[in-house]
């Protein structure tokens, strides 16, 4: 079965996502559509606004055929690692195309940027390193390096979707995944924009803000009609959830201490002391991050680091998992077409498929599979605590993939 793929977070699923899925179906009508989606913790280093199974169900109700989970170690990580994991999953699922939203809609420019960064010429690497050492974020350093090496690209400046797409295509080249790009020009508000769009195409950031304010009337305008009922019945992270998250963070830092924190993934020398000091006096997560933040350490990077602290993700474990082939793929939601695609993956036998964690016996890479699953289970349990539900109720051991009956 032919298949195309999308890498996303759907945090939450909104009209812009539906537009992307509809466009892919229109361009490649014979293809099954596979979405690789972050789990309960997302790339910006925060808990998702609602449970991963709810977000996966929303995607399938709006046109996805199969939603596969992007493992925590990739999902809650920098753009290059996020893209690396996403492409690994799409490749394992047998996809032939990768679709993505874009500000420019210029696939040639994005592909050129991917080729430059994948080739990592000495000039590009030197400019990127110079930008990072100068205190810039990866995004700003990457854009500046591209502009200097290839002025015609303009470094993809001010185009976060284009930059992420370039990371996807870079990984496509490095992994020799053979995915054909399908570039879809973004519709509505820009990525991260907090401005509400009257036509119902607000960004995910704006929709999350509306959810936080409890303004469901504005939220519903930005969601496809197919999921209005699901959205109104879903549980969302509240102010109480933010308080619970901070208490877990503070407890983990205080009980671990600077020595223990030094072994956490992404913990550069000196940060452990800054976190240990700030945790004693900071009243909330935002103030804790701002107390440690510098030009060199961005808000998102520090936010992700806090997630590594509360899950106890060690540097050697993360590096082991990130360097290994993907040990399994895990479905969160599907329809009959997606189920047929998944059966094909199983029959090929090239990668494990985990539909029921309790019955899963790793075959391809037992050590990596066991470690990766441990962090999936742990992160889901922590998410349950944050959300104010029982660990059992939210456990990956008792939840099953959503199946849309035709």
Q: Could you give the C-alpha distances from 402 to 36, 62, 331, 337, in angstroms and in order?
A: 15, 13, 9, 13
Kindly tell me the burial class for residue 303, based on how many C-beta atoms sit within 10 Å of its own C-beta (0-12, 13-18, 19 or more).
buried
Give me the pLDDT at residue 159, please. Answer: 77
Give me the pLDDT at residue 116, please. Answer: 81
Q: Which residues contact 100 (CB under 8 A, 6 or more apart)?
A: 6, 7, 161, 164, 165, 168, 181, 182, 183, 184
Strand pairing report for 66-70 and 331-334? antiparallel
d(CA 184, CA 105): 6
- pLDDT tens by residue, the chain, 406 residues: 899 999 999 999 999 999 999 999 999 999 999 999 999 999 999 999 999 999 999 999 999 999 999 999 999 999 999 999 999 999 999 999 999 999 888 898 889 888 888 876 677 777 777 777 666 667 777 777 777 666 666 656 667 888 899 999 999 999 999 999 999 998 754 444 445 444 578 889 999 999 999 889 989 999 999 999 999 999 998 889 999 999 999 999 999 888 889 999 999 878 999 999 999 999 999 999 999 998 888 899 999 999 999 999 999 999 999 999 999 999 999 999 999 999 999 999 999 999 999 999 998 899 999 999 999 999 999 999 999 999 999 999 999 999 998 7
Assess contact for 179 and 87: CB atoms under 8 A.
yes
Kindly tell me the burial class for residue 152, based on how many C-beta atoms sit within 10 Å of its own C-beta (0-12, 13-18, 19 or more).
exposed
Give me the pLDDT at residue 186, please. Answer: 83
Give me the pLDDT at residue 157, please. Answer: 63
Give me the pLDDT at residue 172, please. Answer: 97
d(CA 333, CA 134): 44
Give me the pLDDT at residue 194, please. Answer: 44
- The whole-model pTM stands at 0.92
Q: What is the DSSP string of 273-309?
A: HHHHHHHHH-SSHHHHHHHH--SSS-HHHHHHHHHHH
Strand pairing report for 97-102 and 3-8? parallel
Q: Which long-range contacts (CB under 8 A, 24 or more apart) does 315-321 make?
A: 315/263, 315/264, 315/265, 315/266, 315/267, 316/263, 317/265, 317/371, 318/73, 318/265, 318/266, 319/265, 320/368, 320/371, 321/71, 321/73, 321/368, 321/371, 321/372
Strand partners, 334: 66, 403
d(CA 329, CA 364): 12
């Amino acid at each position: 079965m032919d298949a195309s793929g999308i890498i996303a977070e759907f945090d939450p699923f909104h009209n812009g996502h539906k537009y992307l899925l509809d466009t892919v179906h229109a361009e490649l009508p014979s293809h099954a559509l596979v979405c690789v989606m972050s789990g309960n913790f997302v790339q910006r280093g925060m808990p998702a606004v609602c449970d991963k199974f709810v977000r996966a169900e929303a995607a399938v109700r709006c046109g996805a055929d199969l939603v596969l989970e992007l493992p925590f170690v990739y999902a809650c990580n920098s753009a290059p690692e996020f893209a690396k994991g996403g492409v690994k999953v799409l490749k394992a699922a047998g996809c032939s195309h990768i679709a993505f939203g874009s500000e420019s809609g210029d696939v040639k420019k994005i592909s050129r940027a991917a080729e430059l960064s994948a080739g990592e010429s000495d000039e590009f690497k030197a400019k990127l390193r110079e930008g990072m050492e100068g205190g810039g974020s990866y995004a700003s350093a990457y854009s500046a390096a591209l502009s200097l090496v290839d002025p015609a690209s303009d470094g993809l400046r001010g185009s976060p979707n284009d930059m992420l797409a370039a990371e996807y295509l870079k990984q496509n080249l490095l992994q020799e995944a053979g995915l054909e790009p399908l570039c879809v020009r973004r519709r509505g508000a820009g990525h991260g924009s907090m401005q509400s769009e009257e036509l119902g195409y607000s960004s995910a950031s704006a929709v999350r803000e509306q959810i936080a304010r409890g303004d469901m009337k504005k939220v519903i305008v930005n969601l496809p009609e197919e999921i209005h009922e699901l959205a109104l019945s879903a549980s969302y992270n509240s102010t109480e959830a933010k308080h619970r998250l901070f208490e877990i963070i503070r407890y983990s830092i205080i009980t671990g201490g600077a020595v223990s924190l030094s072994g956490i993934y992404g913990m550069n020398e000196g940060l452990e002391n800054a976190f240990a000091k700030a945790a004693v006096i900071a009243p909330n997560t935002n103030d804790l991050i701002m107390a440690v933040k510098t030009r060199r350490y961005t808000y998102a990077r520090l936010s992700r680091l806090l997630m590594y602290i509360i899950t106890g993700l060690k540097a050697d474990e993360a590096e082991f998992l990130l360097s290994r082939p993907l040990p399994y793929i895990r479905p969160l939601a599907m329809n009959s077409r997606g189920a047929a695609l998944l059966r094909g993956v199983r029959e090929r036998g090239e990668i494990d498929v985990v539909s029921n964690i309790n019955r899963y016996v790793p075959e391809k890479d037992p050590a990596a599979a066991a470690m990766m699953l441990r962090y999936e289970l742990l992160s889901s349990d922590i998410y349950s605590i944050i959300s104010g539900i029982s660990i059992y109720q939210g456990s990956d051991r008792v939840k099953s993939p959503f199946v849309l009956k035709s």
